[in-house]
Amino acid sequence: MGIAATESIRRQNDRLHAGIDAVGAFRDRLPEMQPQQVRKELDDALVFLRHEVAPHAGAEERVFYREVARVLGVELGERMAGEHRYIDGLVQDLTELRHRVTAERAVPPELSGVLGRLVDIVKAHLRLEEEVLQRLSERLTDSEICFLYERMERAEFEAAVTSEGSAETTGFQEEH
Ligand SMILES: [Fe+2]
């Protein structure tokens, strides 16, 4: 059962890897894209970041990182939470750049750099999490891992419901 739970967490990370790879591919195509297409792709990237990455990160901070801090040390938990804050800041930058594409009808030159930093940090963060998950699973019993996974699922569901509610007020999809 414990193995099934860590396997599920890993599978979930595979989905996040695929999503961030798509953002990387978008960044590579940027030089040949029209502002209209860039806006659409940015919307897709922001939907992924706000509705998949953000609820997942919130659940991790409430459940997974607490366990990391308890079992592997407070510093590691804080480092991982710090990476979330950095990612959050880049998503905010991206949201502003998205508005500028509409307002200026041109692609801001900073966009490529922000996308590149975002892809790099999310990938490094996922790799670190996988490593930490491995270390954690060596220290916890199967039933502890199962319990951790159950709490993660519940926290993620709650965070997703909350983000649905707040998405209506962000309005980044309204400017067409
Ligand atoms: Fe994370």
pLDDT tens digits, 70-128: 999 999 999 999 999 999 999 999 999 999 999 999 999 999 999 999 999 999 999 99
Compute the distance from residue 32 Cα to the ligand 1 centre, in Å: 32
Nearest to 61 by CA among 155, 125, 133: 155
Compute the distance from residue 97 Cα to the ligand 1 centre, in Å: 24
Q: Give the SS3 label for residue 141.
A: coil
pTM of the model: 0.86
Compute the distance from residue 149 Cα to the ligand 1 centre, in Å: 14
Let me know: does 87 contact 57? Beta carbons within 8 Å: yes
Beta-carbon contacts of 104 under 8 Å, excluding residues fewer than 6 positions away, are none
Compute the distance from residue 96 Cα to the ligand 1 centre, in Å: 23
As given in the structure block, the two tokens for residue 58 are 């919130």
Compute the distance from residue 75 Cα to the ligand 1 centre, in Å: 15
pLDDT for residue 50 is more than 80: yes
**Cα(61)–Cα(82) distance, rounded to whole angstroms?**
10
56 pLDDT tier (thresholds 50, 70, 90): confident
Compute the distance from residue 166 Cα to the ligand 1 centre, in Å: 21
pLDDT for residue 172 is more than 60: no
Compute the distance from residue 21 Cα to the ligand 1 centre, in Å: 16
Compute the distance from residue 7 Cα to the ligand 1 centre, in Å: 16
Q: Give the SS3 label for residue 19.
A: helix
Q: How far is CA 41 from CA 24, 69, 152, 171, in A?
A: 11, 37, 30, 16
Instruction: Name the CATH topology of 2-164.
Output: Four Helix Bundle (Hemerythrin (Met), subunit A) (1.20.120)
As given in the structure block, the two tokens for residue 29 are 């195509």
